Amino acid sequence: MFSEIQMKQSTGVCLDDIRKLKETLLDADAVVIGAGSGLSTAAGYEYSGESFRKYFPDFIEKYGIRDMYSGGFYPFPNAEERWAWWSRHIWLNRYAPIPNDVYKRLFDLIKEKDYFVLTTNVDHCFQRSGFDKKRLFYTQGDYGLFQCSNSCRQITYDNEPVTRKMIEAQEFMIAEDGNLIIPQDVQIKMAVPAELVPHCPDCGAEMTMNLRADDSFVEDNGWHAASLRYAEFLRRHSRMKTLYLELGVGMNTPVIIKYPFWRYTAENKNSSYACLNKGEAYAPVEIADRSICIDGDIQKVLEQLK
């Protein structure tokens, strides 16, 4: 449907594009937000760097793990170490405070609009920043949920209570705001007690994260309900003045957000497409006249839009 060679490329952050996006946003009957990892990067999340070195020094020293992402695939020798790793990973990216206010800025821009959010992010930042949970579809899972590793049932389980216990069992302290604290003169443990390793209440298999990695991913009732709400939202606004606003979406999984947004824009002549992404802001020439592509820092662009 679209040319893979001829693309409308962004030339960077242009004030005219900022004004055009603001006017389009104000004029839209509805806004469909498609968010990728670049949005959470703009919110201050990073899988390497200072935070990683601060909270995973034992894993770095023992196994040479370079970042939180690759650590998620490391073949730890036992479940106790694996869950020591994952409990820290979960807490820092799901329950600790969001590093900055990017998500809150986005919410302030669209909260008076008829909106829906489709995201591949699993950090739950939208709901934690005020977005209506009935207008969110976390298609790739949630750091806050466990599932059976055997997928014996299409059910997920809230993991906050047991994750908190795992964190405290390693001698970390959790502040009232959710920040992790490393007490002075305390040796952080690199394993959790065996009794805290989570197991499926139905088949007894070890739990795993509810993150889409293969066909074992559990799509529970909440996932399917969100999918239906999203499909209905798209149907109701398929001929209206709809802004398809893509934020931080790269080419890792373009079939989830990017390609569908292009198609929806092409099919609805009353719609517009906007792409905000550092280094990857473009649109097909077929919808170029209704596209706004801004190659820049999402945090700064949202600030300018406000």
Q: 38-57: per-residue pLDDT in tens?
A: 999 999 999 998 999 999 99
Is residue 34, in this structure, part of any structural domain at all?
Answer: yes
Q: Which of 177, 211, 245 is the C-terminal boundary of a domain?
A: 211
Query: Do 36 and 24 share a domain, yes or no?
Result: yes
Number of structural domains in the chain: 2
Per 3-state DSSP, what percentage of the chain is helix, strand, and coil (rounded to 5)? 40, 20, 40
Same-domain check for residues 110 and 229: yes
Q: Do residue 194 and residue 298 come from a single domain?
A: no
Query: Last residue of a domain, which of 171, 186, 211?
Result: 211
Instruction: Tell me what pLDDT residue 11 has.
Output: 52
Q: How far is residue 296 from each of residues 39, 126, 185, 275, 306, measured CA to CA in Å?
A: 12, 21, 43, 10, 16
Residue-level pLDDT at 67 = 96
In a domain, 66, yes or no: yes
Q: How many CA atoms lie within 13 A of 183 on its CB side?
A: 13
Residues 134 and 146 in one domain: no
Do residues 136 and 159 share a domain?
A: no
Residue 157 lies in a domain: yes
* Beta-carbon-side half-sphere exposure of residue 3 (alpha carbons within 13 Å): 11
Q: Are residues 86 and 156 in the same domain?
A: yes
CB 274 within 8 A of CB 60: no
- DSSP at 178: S
Both 133 and 201 in a single domain? no
Buried-exposed string 258-280: b where 16+ CB fall within 10 A, e elsewhere: bebbbebbbebeebbbbbbbbeb
CA distances from 79 to 74, 76, 83, 98, 218 (A): 12, 7, 6, 28, 21
156 and 264 in a single domain? The answer is no
Return the ∠ at Cα 161 (arms to 159 and 163), rounded to 5°.
65
Whether 237 maps to a domain, the answer reads yes
One domain, residues 70 and 92:
yes
DSSP assignment of 264-301 equals HHHH-TT-EEEEE-SS--EEEGGGGGGEEEE-S-HHHH
pLDDT of residue 253: 85
Residue 12: what pLDDT? 59
pLDDT tens-digit map of 56-100: 999 999 999 999 999 999 999 999 999 999 999 999 999 999 999
Q: What is the 3-state secondary structure (H, E, C) of 73-103?
A: CCCCCCHHHHHHHHHHHHHHHHHCCCCCCHH
Is residue 2 in some structural domain?
no
Are residue 90 and residue 150 in the same domain, yes or no? yes
CATH of the domain at 299: 3.40.50.1220
Is there a domain that residue 166 lies in?
yes
Is residue 91 within 8 A of residue 105, CB to CB? The reply is no
* Residue 38, in any domain of the structure: yes
Residues 151 and 243 in one domain: no
- Residue 106 counted as domain residue: yes
Which domain does 75 fall in, by range? 50-98+142-211
Q: Exposure pattern of 164-178 as b/e (b: 16+ CB <10 Å)?
A: bebbebbebeeeeee
pLDDT at 5: 41
| Pair (111, 206) in one structural domain | no
Low-confidence ranges of the chain (pLDDT < 70): 1-13
